[in-house]
Structure 1
Amino acid sequence: MTEGRRVWLSVISRDNLLCLENVYVCSNHFERGKPAYAMKTFDVDWAPCINLGHDKVNVSTLQAASDRAIRTEQRRQRMEEAATSSSVASSSVGAQVSEEDTGCVFVNEGTQTDQGVLCHSKTVQTTPPQTCNVGVQTDDWNFFDEKVFLSNDSKVHYYTGLTKCALLLSTFEFVMKPFCNGEIRAFYWHSFLIVLLKLRLNLGLQDLAYRLNWLIKWPQREQLWKTMPNCFCACYGTKVVAIVDCYETKIETPSHLVAKSATWLQYKHANTAKVFISMCPKGVTTFVSCAWGGRVSDKHLTVNSGFLSKLLLGDIVLADHGFDIDEDVARMQAALQIPAFTRG
């Protein structure tokens, strides 16, 4: 029984109400002729209060509680309006531009609505405008771009601990020279930068994932052809687009029983999470699925991850012998190949 129904039955105080299916309370038992909203528990009309046939309910006490609730709601609304007004005022002050610098006068007109204050700006041209430099907030991908990142020594020192841009660049060239070339230099640059950010600022893995999630993207076929290793060309030509596998990692035991059952893996004797990962022949990660419970099969995870929709006609996917997805890949007019050394 809900709290509201319990209170209603208490104030009605009828012992002969055995069946409540067709019982109604008329408007004569409410101060304003109808019950109040169910969430307004301090309202005088939250439950029947007058003409009840007994004096168990003190209407004056209920009215006092209702008045206190109304005053509390009014104070809350005034505080919200004051906070909104202060935020609008501070944003207007921050957006002001002096007439001497730009030759423009900004006139703000405020219009009061039910949703708040809407500010409209009108620009009155007084003198010909002059060109000025304004800072533009860049996206994460532009911020971590090699040329943009190496444009400021203080930024390099804060994020990496190295004092100069030239020192960071020379360190990158020394460490990554055996691996990278002009075509995939950006990938190794971002990988190198992730390591430095983790060592310098101890950023959480989730934070790094949000910052750099744009690094995982599906490549164009021309990029795959240009970077295809010779060993793949000798065996499969230039048709291999992905090498797939599922990765499992141990997690804390969930408190929810369903989640605990879905993540329990018997042969590992632990609760695990499983993700589907795809990489191109060059070794760059190109697709990562959402995490699933460790008990899910590789086939089910692959089919429901969205990976198959990225395949084109004639593509070849390499997988371990445990992946029984040849029919699903064939529906996308692609082919699944299992290398001989993975067949056991």
Structure 2
Amino acid sequence: MVNRCCIVGCNSATHDRHGKKIENGLTFHRFPAWRRNHGDQVSEITKSRRLAWIAAVRRPNITFHSIPMSMRVCSLHFHSGKPANEMYNSHPDWAPSLHLGHTEMKATKTARYERQNKRKRQRTDSTPAMDETVIDDLVPPVETPAPAEDGADQTLLTECDFCQRRRAEINRLLEENRTLKCELGQRKMDEHFLKDDNVKVKYYTGLPDLEVVMGVLACVGPYMTQSSKLLPPFQMLFLTLMRLRLNLPLQHISHLFRVDRKTVSKTFSDTINVLHARTSPLINWPGRDALHATMPHQFVEAFGKRVAVILDCFEIFIQTPSNLKARAQSYSHYKHNTTMKFLIGITPQGSISFISKGWGTRQ
């Protein structure tokens, strides 16, 4: 099937007129659907996105409830070469925005209307059946009375001034819309919130920079399930790292990410399981040769080559269990709270080589 881009003035297609496939590396994307059965928030976002695509394309045969199946938008009209995730409503590729031909409206020059009016007068003069009464009926009235021809000139100039003001207002609104989207993107808890600010990345996630965060996402992202459809994979990981780092309450995180508290709880639980399954193989016990080759000289001087691991035990706070027996087993008189304890092993070089399962404080 031949796919063609529906953007006015774009000639991109998958096949030429002889039916031969064109190897141009372009992709063609359908208009987004309005998903009404996934909650109010998803319904509102997908509806707004469908309207945004229709407004960007501006074809008379495309309406909200009637979009031909053959209509596609090619990758040339997106900054990244493809549409962004539907939940990234502040992303520049949430809707087509490049090479549309009508993003900015330019004011029409009055000389064009003057030339058009001159040609119209010449046609009128060459038509004997067209009398002065008919001309008066065709030309809208103006505030300043004038002869028929001068009145037509003034009417066209008045309309031209009105078009200029209207288009100037449209351009002002477009610029205001871009500014507001940029401000919204800076406040949204996504990768743009952490971009170019390693101090912020360290504070919220505990990782050194955004590249490391994206590396973790590349490792666990394909295995994360978006059951709620409200949060993209990056926000699911960001939410989890933020809670692990800062121990923020679920209700507070739900306000930051603008989702329900139950969504935060389920997302955190699911993401923790994926992180454990994908990253636990990275913790391994090195062999003696590797330990000796990387042993700091301070350890060699003090202990020779007898050090294999440095052991420590630590506790972390947990929510109070509803089960009375579990609550008694996890209560710490030292911390005056319910905790779990872990045994951790570290190599002399400083890398973690062992983490035990969690145990109740009294076990």
Q: Normalised by the size of structure 1, how large is the TM-score?
A: 0.30
Give the number of the structure with larger relative contact order, counting CA–CA contacts within 8 Å between residues 6 or more apart: 2
More strand by share: 1
More helix by share: 2
Q: Normalised by the size of structure 2, how large is the TM-score?
A: 0.28
